[in-house]
Structure 1
Amino acid sequence: MSYIIEILVKTLRNKELDHHEKTFLDDWKRQSDNNATIYKKLEKYWDHKLKVRKDTKEDVWNKLELFMDKETSIEKKTSRKIHFNKLYYVAASVLLVLFFFYYQEKQDINPKESPIAEVSYITRENQKGEKRNITLSDGTFIKLNAESKLKFPDKFSGNTREVYLTGEAFFDVKKDTSSPFIIHTKDISTVVKGTSFNIRAFEDDQLITVSVVTGLVELESHDSVMVSLKPHEEAIVNVIDNNVKKESFELEEISWRDNILCFKDQHLGEIITTLERWYGVEFILEDENVKMKNGFSGTFKNESLREVMENLSFAGHFKFRIEKDKIYIN
């Protein structure tokens, strides 16, 4: 395995391969679909211009993890033939090569340089029905929504403040013009210096939504600015094709941060997903004909699941029953 890693690293670094190495690489790619997939993903990942010279090992891991999450999510939507173990094998192999390259690159830059101190990361993950408040070392306040995960350093260092989000969170970032605050979500980075905004980027969602309350926010992809946002503006990014839609929004649309459940012209499927996360329950649709074609709008504050369901069932002309943590709709 080490020989093929050396060849892959040389290829990524645009170093010329001799005849034997070229033959070995071609044979290796033809040996299995896994090998061919690894090679394609390496090329695609390297095109994202990951700046390994400036990153710690943990940064490399985090960015690869987000990239693989996006790839896995896309492949789930486009093909159900890909087995999880295969994707895991690909991710592990890509990671191995990247770490090998990282160490070799560090050695090439300064062989006598002492090792960089490792950054200690903290992960906070909420299950369905959970929310929590988090205060970072710089004073930044974050409210993490249900079924969401945030990874952040125990103490910021260097010229940037970087965190990694899967799910939804509201950020009130401590202002520091000399140290931009960067939130990595899948293949999109949100860059600010001191502002408040909401990010919605659940793992299985095709869309990432960034909604700005105060200050200015930039969305980046592959080190290029996609869109800039002012207060009361939001960007909706399709992670499949990176298409961006910019529009205005109402603050009540992100009122979850104040423990207010708000729906605006939403259909039953969207409502069910939100309620499952909010209350930590499971919905079972016994009648596929039950739909809310015209959408539903409503606001609920500190109301029980039963109270919410009574309003929804009246508006949607359906019946429901609650059995422990399962809600049946018919």
Structure 2
Amino acid sequence: MDKTQIRHLFKRYINGRANGPEQNLVNYWYRSFDDEVLDINDAEKKQIKAEIWGDIQQRISFNKSYRQKRNWWLRAAAVLLPLLLGAGILYYLAYYRNSAVQTFTTYTTGTGERKMLRMKDGTVLNLNAGSTIRIADDLSKERIVDLIDGEVFFDVHKQKGTPFVIKNQAITTTVLGTAFNISAYRNIQTFSIAVVRGSVQVADDGHCLKQLQKNEELVFNRNSRSFIVKPTEDRVLDWQKGYLVLNDVPFDEMAILVEKNFGVIITTNHDKIKKSRYTTQLSTEMKPMEAAEVLAAIHHFKISGGSNHILFYE
């Protein structure tokens, strides 16, 4: 990467338009001071870092007030470029350029649809209804799956020296060879992972939460950032047998899962119904209205509406 590209990088960073990898690039240079071998103590090192970064921020702030001038960003780049080069960032730039070309292929399942995928490394994925994942096209250096929405059962093929990584928002699951189920619906506040074979490591924003073993399930609350670990429930894989299993779930979660599996939207105007918890097992072979009728009957509610939109009431 030449000086012109570096200037453009810092122009985007200073102007707040840098993407995630580009922000990490500049932040990496700042963190590189931790790796320098200097004949100073920790307190002095911390002070130097703070003073240098503070000075850079002041200069950037000053230059922002002159954005209308054509070459404002050149002055900011002139401040940062010598420091950047001195920190050995060009090596990292070369690494970033090579790693940034990683491409992904997206796979989805529709309402009530389930799909099995076999990755190039031999790993088998079973997708539940209404799920979306992205799989890295090049698995030679790192095996990455982005679980964007839904539920997936992973039977990971062991590949020595190349961990298998599943990313879902800030949650990262890392394994070598094992089998486990992840439920991570975008609009449901809980993330759960149940291990069937082997072990997995689960981390939140880079901080390890738990090393899960066989027959352990971790349930993570996205709002509170808290989690519990419990024995794996017997029916956690029943969705692969054609069942929607609701186990003491709130109304909103029930409505999302019913829509994913049956394509029908359930709503209500009653607070009591909204505050109720729902436990039942529904065959996904049912018609949407049949599933809604069973669900309402079990919880002593009435229904009205058509095949696409059903209202629960007392």
Shift of 1:322: 4.1
- Tell me how many residue pairs correspond in the alignment: 257
**Which of 140, 144, 149 in structure 2 is aligned with 1:162?**
144
Alignment of 1:3-152 (within 5 A): 4-5=11-12, 13-14=29-30, 16=52, 22-27=57-62, 107-109=90-92, 118-152=101-135
Query: Percent identity at matched positions?
Result: 24
Gaps of 5+ in 1: 32-100
Cα distance change on mapping 1:24 and 1:259 into 2, 3 Å: same
Cα distance change on mapping 1:306 and 1:12 into 2, 3 Å: same
Shift of 1:301: 5.3
- 1:263-305 alpha-carbon deviations (Å, 9 max, x no partner): 2233433322210111122223244443574643334352222
CA RMSD, 1 decimal: 3.5
- 1:19-70 alpha-carbon deviations (Å, 9 max, x no partner): 6x54442347899xxxxxxxxxxxxxxxxxxxxxxxxxxxxxxxxxxxxxxx
Letter in 2 for 1:256: W
- State the match for 1:219 in structure 2: 202
Letter in 1 for 2:143: R
User: Normalising by structure 1, what TM-score?
Assistant: 0.66
Which is worse superposed, 107-116 or 256-265? 107-116
User: Normalising by structure 2, what TM-score?
Assistant: 0.69
Q: Is the 8 A contact 1:281 1:326 kept in 2?
A: yes
Cα distance change on mapping 1:28 and 1:142 into 2, 3 Å: farther
Cα distance in 2 between the residues matched to 1:106 and 1:17: 16
Helix, strand or coil for the counterpart of 1:253? coil
- State the match for 1:66 in structure 2: none
Shift of 1:219: 0.7
Shift of 1:222: 4.3
Gaps of 5+ in 2: 1-6, 15-22, 31-48, 67-83
Which is worse superposed, 212-221 or 257-266? 257-266
Letter in 1 for 2:29: R
Cα distance in 1 between the residues matched to 2:282 and 2:210: 30
Q: Is the 8 A contact 2:246 2:278 kept in 1?
A: no
